[in-house]
């Protein structure tokens, strides 16, 4: 069986991925070969007995840089082993990774991810290899491994057959069926510490429940991430737009039990 997507991860610390790859949905996806994750230790391309991969920056300054003459041959060899994959390099200045970027990557057969460490890469790595530079947020990690995990887990959820309910990845926050935030969700018990499940969700009226969820999704977004509304406002004329709401169901999601308030 051929996997839907193969992820090649180039890292100095492949052991970081051991627990990540051996749990939950990701483990099942690997077992059933719906995806493949291959780890490559970049130190294998070091030429000295100490497996040196970094050196001090020219011009001085703090930290160490990953050496161009170690990283470039490593990437080139990995790419030659089969049809070259889409090459991502995790850097602070890269394109911001989001759900739409993940959906784009989910159409690829092979994704090669280059994980930096220390102060990053010698700039010539980017100049020679011309990777897509990617960032998962405006903060600094110790290396690109956590970013690679985020990409694998996000893209994996979009591969058909991996999730139990195929609608899950369509109506999650930011996803194709709902570019804004998801609505609030509830399960048993019906009441806990004075907070009750909205009565509409217990009504059995599926049309009204769907309407409530649509409106609650918009409400959640207005309150918590109003910036997302601008991104979908141009599509507000569409019948399926999340901006089309029913005012009668725009009440607050969590309803305080009146008996507890007395």
Active-site positions?
92, 119, 157, 172
Sheet holding 35-41, edge to edge: 35-41, 5-11, 110-114, 86-96, 132-135
Residue-level length of the chain: 262
Residue 12: phi and psi, rounded to 5, are -85, -15
Sheet holding 191-192, edge to edge: 191-192, 195-196, 255-256
Residue from 161, 157, 186 nearest 172 by CA: 157
Separation CA 135–CA 92 (nearest Å): 5
Residue from 249, 244, 212, 243 nearest 228 by CA: 243
């Amino acid at each position: 069986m051929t996997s839907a997507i193969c992820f090649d991860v180039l890292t100095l610390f492949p052991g970081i991925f051991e627990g990540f790859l051996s749990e939950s949905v990701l483990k099942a996806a690997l077992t059933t070969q719906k995806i493949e994750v291959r780890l490559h230790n970049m130190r294998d391309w070091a030429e000295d007995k100490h497996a040196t991969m970094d050196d001090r920056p020219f011009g001085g300054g703090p930290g160490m840089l990953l050496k161009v003459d170690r990283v470039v041959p490593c990437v080139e060899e990995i790419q030659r082993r089969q049809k070259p994959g889409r090459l991502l390099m995790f850097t602070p200045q890269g394109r911001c990774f989001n759900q739409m970027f993940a959906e784009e990557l989910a159409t690829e057969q092979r994704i090669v991810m280059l994980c930096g460490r220390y102060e990053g890469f010698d700039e010539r790595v980017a100049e020679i290899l011309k990777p897509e530079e990617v960032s998962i947020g405006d903060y600094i990690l110790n290396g690109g491994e956590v970013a690679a995990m985020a990409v694998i887990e996000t893209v994996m959820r979009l591969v058909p057959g991996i999730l139990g309910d195929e609608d899950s990845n369509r109506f999650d926050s930011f996803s194709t069926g709902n570019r804004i935030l998801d609505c609030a969700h509830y399960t048993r018990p019906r009441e806990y510490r004075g907070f009750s499940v909205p009565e509409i969700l217990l009504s059995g009226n599926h049309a009204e429940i769907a309407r409530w969820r649509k409106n609650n999704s918009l409400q959640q977004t207005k309150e918590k991430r109003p910036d997302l509304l601008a991104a979908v406002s141009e599509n507000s004329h569409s019948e399926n737009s999340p901006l089309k709401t029913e005012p009668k169901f725009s009440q607050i999601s969590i309803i305080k039990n009146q008996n507890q308030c007395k």
